[in-house]
Amino acid sequence: MNGFFYKGGQFLPHTQAAPGKWKLKGKWINSARELVAPGEFAFQPTPFSRSLFVLAGVGSSTVLNDGRLTLNLGPRGQGVRACDGTPITLAMEIRPGVKGVLGKEALTLGEIIDAWNSGQRWFDVQPDAETITSSGCW
């Protein structure tokens, strides 16, 4: 149906989309590259994976000290503030999303920093919307 070759016994697509693409609220998404560590890019394991390094806001809300993420204390050691003036703390909630659709669960900045420091690089977003895959079957 979509013009791609499929081996015998594989499920056939039910859309015209290329294999591995997903549709979320009318927008097609697929895997892309994201920054996962300083100078290190990697492809997302799934189109719904987000880099913890990017979510942590390295440079603005967090900094890298001796290979570990920590909260940015700012030039005077009094911390940094969000664009609305509120202080950025480890308890600040971040709700990651994909293509403008927010996920169902929120994480705190402290949880993101701890996960990255323990070796995790990706967070899988569970979008709060129906997703349609192009690799479905009849």
Residue 76 resides in a domain: yes
Q: Which of 49, 37, 33 is CA-nearest to residue 126?
A: 49
pLDDT band at residue 116 using 50, 70 and 90 as cut-offs = very high
- Can you give the C-alpha Rg of the chain in angstroms? 19
Residue 105 resides in a domain: yes
* pLDDT for 72: 80
> Which residues form the domain of 73?
26-132
Average pLDDT over residues 23-30: 68
Residue 126 resides in a domain: yes
Residue 88 resides in a domain: yes
pTM: 0.69
Least confident of 18-22, 86-90, 124-128: 18-22
Residue 66 resides in a domain: yes
Maximum average pLDDT range among 15-19, 53-57, 134-138: 53-57
Q: How many domains, in total, are found in the chain?
A: 1
pLDDT in tens, 59-90: 777 787 788 888 887 776 667 777 777 788 88
Q: Which amino acid is at 16?
A: Q
Residue 18 resides in a domain: no
* pLDDT for 96: 84
- Say which residues have a Cβ less than 8 Å from residue 2's Cβ, sequence separation at least 6: 13, 15, 16, 17, 18, 19, 134
Tell whether the model's pLDDT for residue 108 goes beyond 60.
yes
